[in-house]
Structure 1
Amino acid sequence: MGTRVKERKIAGISWNVFLLGLVSFLNDMSSEMIAPIVPTYLTDVLHIGKALSGSIMGLIESLSSLFKVLFGYISDKFRRRKVFVALGYTLSAASKGGLAFINNWWEFVGLRILDRVGKGIRTAPRDALIAESSEEGRTGKSFGFHRMMDTLGAVAGPLVSIALLVLLSNLPVVKAYRAIFLLSALPGLVGVFLVLLFVKDKGREVKKVIKGISTLRSKELQLFLLVVAIGALGRYSYAFTLWKAEELGLSVVQGLSFYALFNLIYAFSSYPLGIYSDKIGKRKLITLGFGIAALASLTFAFAKDIITLGLAFILYGVYIAIEDTIPRAYMADLAKEFEKGTVIGAYHTVFGILVFPASVISGLLWQKYSLEYAFIYATIMNMTALVLMIITDRRTFISS
């Protein structure tokens, strides 16, 4: 194993991890200021059909994954993470502000692709930097803190969006949306300056080790990535949850409130779940996550009132907290020091590529049948992933 240089901490979290968490808070606040209004913008302002809307949302989510393993690999080779993190956040901030000036769906897609390219550039190098800035055996804690901060930004974003919608209520809807798009770029740009001025690269501090056989060739990792692929086919865009709220007769502001609830659960679950995963084992928690995902999807499918819908959003928040936190830490633990960016990037790429067909299938099921069928499909895929996790590791629930 490589040696890591000690650095000052804040509440038991390394300075680098704390700063990267703060940057993610600002970036996600920026993203979530616009995320809740995007589904309505697509269908009501740009007048895009249901199947195409679902496909666009899936394509946007999936595109960033094509770049994650590539830039993870490049950052491993150069032992530099910071430059890719800063570039990625810059592209994302610029793309959000640019949405204020579009008039057609293909312009929307172009700018959202730019945003996802930015995410693809920064994600694996950033996650590798978090791993390199973490104490041995505490990766779950670090990734949990980062996810918590990231998602607190996602809580703040919709609340800011709600406030802006109220303040701009006397404006035409299109103008109000454009103003929110423009303002959303500001927090992201502040985050870029924090990366450039205060975050420190750690790659050069990691002691060079004999490379040997790549972790990517291990059976454990390959089987896990197979399960990840199956689970990803059951991952639907957040837009489907908001469309469900709309289907039940909720207003845009009410839908945003439920979305804020989801992010609040997500935020405050991530950190303790990350710490817990360091103690009980990450595979156990990942397996449980697939079960919660199936239950959340089933609840969304048959929700007929606000209370059941609220329960669905709560379960969805816990599920995403596990899925977006623990697998990253698990991959960081499996990876050797010389290839953390590549291995973490491989996970993101496999997961992200399968998100696109998942959303296409969900969109088609919605259009041909109903949203209920889209959520039932997600339930089936997550249950399949849960069973495969147990089959590939029978010790999941009986070993410590």
Structure 2
Amino acid sequence: MKKRKIFGVSWNVFLLGIVSFLNDMSSEMIMPIVPTYLTDILGIGKALSGSIMGLIESLSSLFKVLFGYFSDRFRKRKAFVALGYMLSAVAKGSLAFISSWWEFVALRIVDRIGKGIRTAPRDALIAESSEKGKTGKAFGFHRMMDTLGAVAGPLAAIGLLAIFSQLPKVVAYKRIFIISAIPGLVGVLIVLLFVVDKGGEVKKKIKGISALRSRSLQLFLLIIAIGALGRYSYAFTLWKAEELGLTVMQGLGFYALFNLIYALSAYPLGAYSDRIGKRKLITIGFGIAALASIAFAFARNALELALAFVLYGIYIAIEDTIPRAYMADLAKEFEKGTVIGAYHTVFGIFVLPASVIAGILWQTYSLTYAFLYAAAMNALAMILMVLTREK
């Protein structure tokens, strides 16, 4: 019997895409108000706020390889996916009941731990639910849905802020925190009731050498680390818009353009990688990243800035999608969670210092130097991809 498909992907992948849409919508509903909530209501300084958010994000990366391994060890993906999404949803809703910065930090840690628990098992489940040779399309669809959630979230937040405009700011924010938990919890129910676990189909005892012992894969992870050192936060792109004299709303408009390009290109690029080869498209992605960084560095007007955001959207769509599918293809059946988790951990660890280095270059010299540094790192990663050969 032919397996059920929708939009060219399996039913499992489609459902996980819906769950990711709901979770990202939930997360992005609160992201526009969290910075103001920290500084104006909880009274945390801007420098401390940035450090807290960066460290918490890095923390989640340490859990990804661990829980990827656990999902391989116990051959259970669905339980870890559901638990991870549940922790994040509850943590976001609980922000409505805090009154101090340390409570905020504790809940954000719970949220990021949830992300660390679910990410590698979920990606392994996507890989196991995909046709052989079609993982790029599956991961592309998932990233598209995730990014569409990032578009829907801020729009929902704007609508809720308008509805609650007559309320005191702190009351309005707390209500949004509570409401933000609802899409996340719906996603948890979808995982529990409808997603089919595939981990149990892997044989209990499989003898073989781990793909992580492969020199070519270790070199690839090294290149990923170098590329991650050139991965600046989207905040730098908004600061560039501000430097050019654009208003906050105009800057957000460019950010919306980035998200739109990201969402629309992730799925077709994922499918394209299945045809031309994932490694080749990852190499091209590093080149586009270098071009985007150069475009940001030398943009002098709104049109040039728009081009930079378009390139940035295509680059992120490639580098947030294709390496996951590539790692899934290389991993043996008994270690997909571990191998994909290793990728997420390496990437996450090196992303944190990337924005720190870019920030130092900005403060010491100018924003142009921060973008040129990112361009150099991505160009180096592209060159190393060309020089190294896949075995």
* TM-score, normalization by structure 1: 0.90
C-alpha displacement of 1:390: 1.3
| Bigger Cα displacement from structure 2, 185-194 vs 162-171 | 162-171
Partner of 1:97: 93
Where does 1:1-400 land on structure 2 (aligned, <5 Å)? 7-42=3-38, 51-207=47-203, 210-393=206-389
CA shift at 1:378, angstroms?
Answer: 1.7
Shift of 1:53: 4.3
Q: What is the one-letter code of the residue matched to 2:158?
A: I
Match of 1:64, SS state, is helix
Secondary structure class of the residue paired with 1:337? coil
Matched letter for residue 381 of structure 2: A
* Greater mean alpha carbon deviation, residues 350-359 or residues 50-59: 50-59
CA contact (8 A) 1:91 1:115 kept: yes
CA shift at 1:294, angstroms?
Answer: 1.7
Amino acid at match of 1:377: Y
Deviation for aligned residue 1:328: 0.3
- Superimposed CA distance per residue, residues 330-381 of structure 1 (whole angstroms, 9 cap, x where no aligned partner): 0000000000000000000000011111222233334444433332322221
CA deviation string 1:250-302 (max 9, x = no partner): 45444433322211111110110010000000011101111111222222333
1:154 and 1:260 in contact (8 A); partners too = no
Q: 2: CA distance between counterparts of 1:117 and 1:195?
A: 18
Over the matched positions of the two proteins, sequence identity in percent amounts to 79
Distance 1:366 1:178 in 2: 35
The alpha-carbon distance between structure 1 residues 243 and 290, as it changes in their structure 2 partners (threshold 3 A), is same
> Structure 2 CA distance, aligned partners of 1:251 and 1:176?
25
Unaligned runs of 5+ in 1: 396-400
Deviation at 1:61, TM superposition (A): 2.4
TM-superposed CA distance for 1:115, in Å, is 1.2
CA–CA separation in structure 1 for the residues paired with 2:243 and 2:177 = 25
**CA–CA distance in 2 between the matches of 1:105 and 1:226?**
36
Aligned length: 391
RMSD (Å) for aligned C-alpha atoms = 2.4
Contact 2:203 2:334 in 1 (8 A): no
Using structure 2 for the length normalisation, give the TM-score.
Answer: 0.92
Question: Which moves more between the two structures, 204-213 or 259-268?
Answer: 204-213
The code of the aligned residue for 1:55 comes to: S
Structure 1 residues 340 and 384, CA, compared in 2 at 3 Å: closer, same or farther?
A: same
Task: After TM superposition, give the deviation of residue 322 of structure 1 in Å.
Answer: 0.4
Structure 1 residues 6, 356: CA separation in 2 closer, same or farther (over 3 Å shift)? farther
How far did 1:75 drift? 0.4
Letter of the aligned partner of 1:308 in structure 2? E
Unmatched 5+ stretches in structure 2 = none
Bigger shift: residues 153-162 or 50-59: 50-59
- CA contact 2:216–2:390 (8 Å) conserved in 1: no
Note if contact 1:82-1:201 (Cα within 8 Å) is conserved in structure 2: yes
CA shift at 1:310, angstroms? 2.5
Q: Which moved more, 1:223-232 or 1:251-260?
A: 251-260
